[in-house]
Amino acid sequence: MALLIKSTGAQSNGYRGIIGRLLAPTWLVIGIFLLFPVLLMAVYSFLTKEFRGGVEWDFTLAAYDQFFVTRGLFGDEPAQIEWTYIGIFWRSIWQAALATITCLVIGFPTAWFIATQAPRSRGVWLFLITIPYWVNLLIRTVSLKFLIRDNGPLNEFLLGIGLIDSPLPLINTNLAVQLGLFYSYLPFMVLPIYASVERYNFAYSEAAADLYANRWTTLREIVLPIVKPGIIAGCILVFVPSLGAFLSPDLLGGAKTFMIGSLIDEQFKGSQGNWPFGAASAMILMSLVLIVLMFYARAAAREDQP
C-alpha cells in the first residue's frame, strides 16, 4: 500500500487570531495619521482663538458662529446669515465641479485611447501622462503662471504671429484657475478610467453592434454603464482635491477667485491667522464632502440590488 487516505471531513486551520495581530500596525497608522488629526481638528474648531495664532482651551462655538452668522461690522446689529464664506464655498464647489467636468471630457477619450493601444505601448503612454507629476505641484503652478501672464511666452507667441493685438488677459481669471486645476488633477481622472476601460470586454461592443445598436447608443447603453465605476472614482479623485485646492486659486486667480483652500490656508498663516475658524471651515468642508460621498454610496448600493 503506497498511500492510504481516510478522512472524516476537512477543515482549515484558524488563522483569524494571527491575522488580527498582524493587522495591528495598520490600525496604528490609521489611528495616528487619519483619526487623530481629524479629531484634533474637530476639537480645535470648538476652542477660542489666541491672538498670535494658536488656541486657548476655552470651549466656544465662536468659529462656527463667525462662519454662518453676522451681526454687522461692530457686532451690535441683529443676527443675519453671513454670506461671505458661504459664497466662497459655493464658488469653490462650482469651480471644482467645472474642473471635474473638464477633466472628464478630456480624460475619458485619453484613457480610452491609451487602453485601446497595444499592451506594450500602454505603459509608455501612462508613463508620459505621469511625467509632469515628477515635478513639484508648486513649481508647476508657478511655471503655468509664467506661461500665461500678459508678457509670457503664450501671449508673446500669439502677438508675434499677429493673431491678437493686445495680450489675452488670462492671469487672475477663473479661466486661469480652471486651467491650473485641470492641469493638476487630470491624471486622477485618466488613471481610474483607464483601469476600467482596460478591463472592458470589447465583445460587449460587438454584441451591441450585432444587435443593431449604433456607435452612440453602444457608448450610452453599454460602455458607459460598464465603465461607470472608473468614471465615478475619477470624478471623486478630481472633485475632492479641487474643492480644497489653494495653490491654483492663489497663484493663478486673483482676489475674485478666492476659494475654500485659500481661506483655510490663510487662517493658519502667521499672526493674522485664526486657528479655530480655519479648523471649523475645514470641518464644514469635510462634512460637505462626506455628505456627497454618502449619497453616492447609497445610490450605488441601491443599484447593486437586482
Partner 1 sequence: MDYGTVTALHDVSFEIKDNEFFTLLGPSGCGKTTLLRLIAGFEEATAGEIRLFGEDIARLDPNHRPVNTVFQHYALFPHMSVIDNVAFGLKMKGVDLATRRARAGQMLEMVHLSSFSDRMHTQLSGGQQQRVALARALAPQPKVLLLDEPLSALDLKLRQAMRVELKSLQEQTGITFIFVTHDQEEALTMSDRIAVMSAGRVQQIGTAKEIYEAPINHFVADFIGETNIIQVNVLSIMGDQALVQLPGGQQISCPAAAAKIGPQHLSIRPERVSLGGIGHLSGTVERLVYLGTDLLVLTQLEGGAALQVRVQNARLTGLPKPGDSVTLTLEEGASRLLVD
230/244 with CB nearer partner 1: 230
84/217 with CB nearer partner 1: 217
Within 216-255, the residues that bind partner 1 by CB under 8 A are: 217, 221-222, 225-226
Region at 72 (left for phi over 0; alpha for psi -120 to 50; beta for the rest): left
Write the CB contacts of 188 (distance below 8 Å, at least 6 apart in sequence): 103, 234, 237, 238, 241
Name the minimum Å distance from CB 201 to partner 1.
7
Strand-pairing partners, residue 55, are 49
Q: Exposed, middle or buried by CB within 10 Å (0-12, 13-18, 19+), for 53?
A: middle
Name the minimum Å distance from CB 204 to partner 1.
6
Q: Which of 147, 209, 233, 292 binds partner 1 (CB under 8 A)?
A: 209
Q: SS3 for 49?
A: strand
Name the minimum Å distance from CB 217 to partner 1.
7
CA angle 86, 243, 285 (to 5 degrees): 50
177/222 with CB nearer partner 1: 222
Q: Is 214 in the site for partner 1 (CB under 8 A)?
A: yes
Site stretch for partner 1 (CB under 8 A), options 48-56, 120-128, 196-204, 283-291: 196-204
d(CA 35, CA 42): 11
Residues of the shown chain interacting with partner 1 in the complex, contacts defined by CB under 8 A: 201, 203-204, 206-214, 217, 221-222, 225-226, 306
